[in-house]
Structure formats: C-alpha cells, structure tokens
Amino acid sequence: MTIRTRLTFWYAGILTASLLVIGFGTYREIDERLRHEHHREPEEHALAEAGEMIFQVGLPAIVLGLLGGWWLTRRALAPMTKLTDAVEKIHERNLREPLPRTGNNDELDRLTDVFNGMLARLDDSFNRTREFTLHASHELKTPLTVLCGETETALRDDSLAPAERERAASLLDELRRLTRIVDGLALLAKADAGQVALKLEPMRFDELVRDNFADAQILAEPHGIRVELTACEEITVRGDRHRLRQLLLNLADNAVKYNQLRGWVTMSLRRAGDAAELTIANSGPGIPPEILPRVFDRFYRGDPAHSQAVDGCGLGLSIVQWIVSAHKGSVKIESMPGISTTVTVRLPLGANR
Amino acid sequence: MRVLVVEDEKKTASFVRKALQAEGFAVDVCHDGDEALAAARATPFDGIVLDIMLPGRDGLSVLRQLRERKNATPVLLLSARGEVNERVEGLNAGADDYLPKPFELAELVARVRALTRRSGENKSTVLRVADLTLDTVTHRAQRDGADIELTAREYRLLEFLMHSPGRLCGRMMILEKVWDYDFDPGTNLVDVYIRRLREKIDANFQPKLLHTVRGSGYLLKEAP
C-alpha cells in the first residue's frame, strides 16, 4: 500500500470520526432542545433530524475531504516520486550528476542533500579504483617491456644451450600472456574512465562476420571442430571496425576453446526487428546456471579446474561486453550444461543514418 | 643504415640498441627530446625510433619539430599508453609507424627494417624465394613449377613474408598487416595459418622454406 493511499485512508478515518463527534453533539443538542420545547418527544425524531443533517452536510464534507486529501498527499509526495525516479537512474557512470532539489528547504531537500553527498563519496571511491587500475596497468608496461626485451635478447644468443633456450622461450610465452592481461586491463580501465574513443562509421557487419567465420574455421580445424555459418544476412551497422572484429574474434575463439574434441560451432547473423542479431553457439561443456550471471566479470573463472586447461587472459568476455555496450547493443549467454552454449549479440542497425 | 633510438628508459634503450645492432644497423641513442632533436639535425639518419613519453620535450613534439623543418626521416613511435587516438595523433603528426609498449623485440626490428627500406625496393611483380614464386598481379603461387592453391588470407600472408625474405616477421606485425588487427587477440591464429601455409609450400618439397623462430616470429628463407 502506498503512502498516498494510507494517508488518504487515515485522513478519511479522522474526518469520519470528527463527523461522528459533531453528529453526536448535534443529536444531543437537538434532543435537548426537543425535550425542552415538547416535553419528552420520542428520541427517534432527534435521531432522524441529526442523521439528516449529517447526511446533508457531512457526506459532501467527507467526499470533499477525501478528494482534497488525495490531492494534498499527491502534492506533498510529488518531490518524493521525482526523487525516486532520479535515484532509480543512478549507476556507476552518472554518479556525478546531482539529484534535483525541490528548493523548498524541506525534509525532502535534506534527504536529497544527504543522497548527493553519498553519491559524491561513491563517485570518488569509484574513480580512485579506476585510476588505480589505469595507473597500475601503465606502470606495469615499462618493466614488462624490459623483461620481454631482455628475454628475447637472450633467445637470440646462439651460444645458449638448448635447455636454457627452452626455459627462456617458455618464460617469454608467460610474459606475453602477462602482456595480454595488462593490455586488456588497460583497455578496460580506459573504457571505464571514458577515455576510449570509438571511430563509428557505417559498415557491412555481414562482411566482418564472414571474415571471422573463415578465421574460426581455421582455429577449429586442429581440434576437429566443425564450424557452420547458417545465416548471414546483408546488414549495415554503425560501428568501430577494429573493435567489432575484436568482438567477433573473441567470441569465435571462446567457442572453439571451450568446446569438445570433434564438437561443433554454429554462427548466424540475422535481422531481428531494429537490430542485427549475431548468435554463436557451440557444443561446449556448457556453463552451470550459478556461474552464468558472472561470466562477464573480469578475471572470473567459474571452474578452477577448467581455467588451468584453457589458455586465456580472463578478460575476453569483459572486453566483449564493453564493446557491445559501447555500440549501444546487448549481449547474453544461455547455456545448457553438457549440451551447448549460445552467445547472442544484438547491435542497433545503422543503415540510412 | 644508421638509426637513432630516443628512449629515456635506459634498459629498454639498451636492448633495442643491441637488437638493432645485431641486425646490422648503426645505432645512436638519446635519452631526451631536445638531445634527439639536436642529433637528428646534425646527422642524417635512415630512421628514428621515438618514445612518446620523454622528459622535457615529448616525442610528439620532437616529431612535429622535425616535420616542420622538412626532415622526412622515417619515424617509428613507441608508446606505453597505446591508445587508439594516440596512434592516429602520431600518424597525423607525421610518424610512419606506431608500436605500443610492451612490444616484441622482433616486432620492433622488423618495423625499423620496413621503415628504412622504403626506397630502392625490388619493384618486380614476381616475388621469389628459392624455387617458390609469387606473382603479385595474377596472385599465382608456384613452387618448383607446380601451382599452389591459396585462399585469400594465405595469399596475403605469403606475400607479406615474401616481401622480406630471410628476415624475421613478428606475430603482431603479421596480425596488423595481414589481418588488419590493431590488438593482440591472444589466439594462435597466425600459428595455425603458418602451419597450413607450410603444408602447401613446404610439405612436398625440399628444402623447407618457412621457419618458426620460437618466441620471436616467422621467416621465409632457403637455408635453415
């Protein structure tokens, strides 16, 4: 029950009660007067007269009171509704926008001020975390450059014993992996801080998908995985070519990596309403339902046993999610454990714009 | 070939110098922007490796100054920030290539080689390594006189490798030039394509031409 309904009922109750008091007073008064004038007339007469008065005056008063009360509470609570709508729109990106004050300096304004103060503090700590990640990823790049460079220099030394060479090469592989993680982290940190500008232009998404399909086939071949492109409609979207290709390759690579030997991958691109809908499904081991909501989280690895077997940086899907949202699209993953996993990406159409 | 390396991080500067020297370049090293500008004015270099973040005058400013003075020495920019906008900004300021840190040494060497070799290239439309030939007009590949069927991507990969025979080609450079990817996808796409290409051009022939250098990249050459 809303505050408004509750207040109106209380209001109506109080009105009715006061009306009854007035009615009772009137009845006593009339009864007294009748008794005085006519010396003991029947009580019913006074009751009828009082009832009539209440009916004639009280009922309209109650109706008016109810309507007035309804209107009054609505007026009083309107800033509350506005505040609720404004608070509802808050997410980590627009913490800086203050909630609107009514300007009446009332209790609600105080509440708004308290909210704004809290938002500013939240924004501050979000920014600190973001900046920390950004700086950390930058700071890591220089030592990583040195490490990679020194290791590569060592590998170029022809006098290196085969065992040493193998060790250096394996070190270099890990360094490359670390580099990819740092790169991914830097990209996401920059995206969070709104520092990545996308170069949006109309482009044939189907051509990118076809291109990606060819790469996916090549990636899948060593694992005996069959890749099919079941549909590829001619679709134009407004997008950043490099980022969309990164999105496609990430998804295709995942579909091949998290799969089974001699499994399958199907890709399709269709028009669905005012969006381009890309689906990539595979015969992967699937994702348990309790893990599904977290697969886009950075560095989240559902199954610790699994994470060892598959080489990845743990940021692929987070990057996918960022690319999709930067294109004002949506992405979702559905999975039937043991049977298949389907990723659906929807991007707004960009034709004739 | 003489190259100027401008990098304030001493260790990075040192291994870049070593790697370039090993490739037969004469290398000068500077650690800040003003020094670099003076050096570039005094000596005609064949190429400059320029870090963007430098104490004092930054790399982009050095580059702009050079171009204002009509100095057209090819420049490879290095950057730890690695932002897409920065790449565009650098290329607009007159850079010839851009490499984000951390980079692979093989990558850097390959790029410097590509920069310094611009002019006086072999302009023939038929590329040749041993008995392997590639006609860049008809897209026809042959080994020992036998036709080799290539997909579009395989063709581009082979063409890229054949443009610098005997030279190491880094994985990122291949991804950039053959796939047009400006990011490291973290997949073994290049390895898989190389394997396929090897099956087509090397499997039934001797000597083997396509070699993998562990941890560095690939190269196409006659002798192992």
Upstream peptide bond of B207 is cis (omega within 30 degrees of 0): yes
- Of the listed ranges B41-45, B154-158, B168-172, B200-204, the one predicted with least confidence: B168-172
Per-residue pLDDT, averaged over B151-178, amounts to 86
| pLDDT tens readout for residues A269-308 | 999 988 999 999 999 788 888 888 888 888 887 665 555 4
Is residue B109 in some structural domain? yes
B40 shares a domain with B89: yes
Instruction: Please give the residue range of the domain that contains residue B130.
Output: 126-220
Provide mean pLDDT across the span B183-194.
84
Of the ranges A53-62, A266-275, B93-102, which is most confident?
A: A266-275
Whether the CB of B122 is below 8 Å from some CB of chain A: the reply is: no
Quick check: is B165 in a domain?
yes
Q: Residue A8: pLDDT band by 50, 70, 90 thresholds?
A: confident
Any idea which fold A201-348 has? Heat Shock Protein 90 (3.30.565)
Q: Which among A141, A186, A218 has the least Cβ separation from residue B189?
A: A218
Which tokens go with B5? 């390396």
Are B59 and B162 members of one domain?
A: no
Does any domain span residue B47? yes
Both B131 and B212 in a single domain? yes
Nearest CA in chain B to A150: B15
Is the pLDDT at A7 greater than 90? The verdict is no
pLDDT classification of A310: cutoffs 50, 70, 90: low
Residues A62 and B221: their CA atoms lie apart, in Å, by: 100
- pLDDT per residue as tens digits for the range A138-189: 888 888 888 888 888 888 788 888 888 888 888 888 888 888 888 888 888 8
Rounded distance between C-alpha atoms, residue B152 and residue B154, angstroms: 6
pLDDT (tens digit, 9 = 90+) per residue, B50-73?
998 888 888 899 999 988 888 888
**Claim to verify: residue B46 and residue B151 sit in the same structural domain:** no
* Domains identified in chain B, total number: 2
Regarding whether B84 and B36 lie in a shared domain, the answer is yes
What does B44-98 look like in DSSP terms, one character per residue?
--SEEEEES--SSS-HHHHHHHHHHTT----EEEEESS--HHHHHHHHHTT-SEE
Round to whole Å and give the CA distance between B51 and B4.
Answer: 11
- B48 and B146, same structural domain? no
Q: How much is the pTM?
A: 0.73
Residue ending a domain, among B72, B87, B116, is B116
The crossing angle, in degrees rounded to 10, of helices B105-116 and B10-22 is 60
Which residue of B lies nearest to A223 if distances are taken between CA atoms?
B192
Distance (Å, rounded) from C-alpha B79 to C-alpha B60? 10
Residue A302 amino acid letter: G
How far apart are the C-alpha atoms of A21 and A73, rounded to whole Å? 25
| Separation CA B78–CA B80 (nearest Å) | 7
CA distance B215 to chain A (A): 6
CB-nearest to A218 from B22, B192, B214 is B192
The whole-number pLDDT of residue A353 equals: 43
Look at residue B121 and tell me if it is in a domain. Answer: no
Q: Tell me whether residues B15 and A250 touch, CB distance under 8 A.
A: no
Q: Do A183 and B184 touch (CB under 8 A)?
A: yes
Cα nearest neighbour of B181 on chain A = A242
Q: How far apart are CA A121 and CA A124, in angstroms?
A: 5
> A274: buried, middle or exposed (CB in 10 Å: 19+, 13-18, 0-12)?
exposed
- CB within 8 A of A340, min separation 6: which ones? A281, A282, A283, A284, A286
Residue B10: both structure tokens together: 């001493």
The last residue of one of the domains, among B116, B144, B167, is: B116
Chain A contact for B185 (CB, 8 A cutoff): yes
B41 touches chain A (CB under 8 A): no
- Please tell me the predicted confidence (pLDDT) of residue A61: 78
Cross-chain CB nearest to A222 (options B81, B82, B192): B192
Shortest distance between the Cα of A172 and any Cα of chain B, in A, equals 6
Please name the residues in contact with B170: beta carbons below 8 A apart, sequence gap of 6 or more. B104, B106, B107, B108, B109, B110, B216, B217
Q: Which residue of B has its CA nearest to A182?
A: B102
Range of A162-166, A321-325, B186-190 with top mean pLDDT? A321-325
Q: Identify the pLDDT of residue A166.
A: 87
**B93 found inside a domain:** yes
The domain boundary residue, chosen from B116, B141, B159: B116
What letters, b where the CB count within 10 A reaches 16 and e where it falls short, cover B90-115?
beebbbbbbbbbbbbbbbbbbbbbbb
Instruction: Identify residue A141 by its one-letter amino acid code.
Output: K
Q: Where are the domains of chain A?
A: 3-88, 126-192, 201-348
Same domain, B90 and B133: no
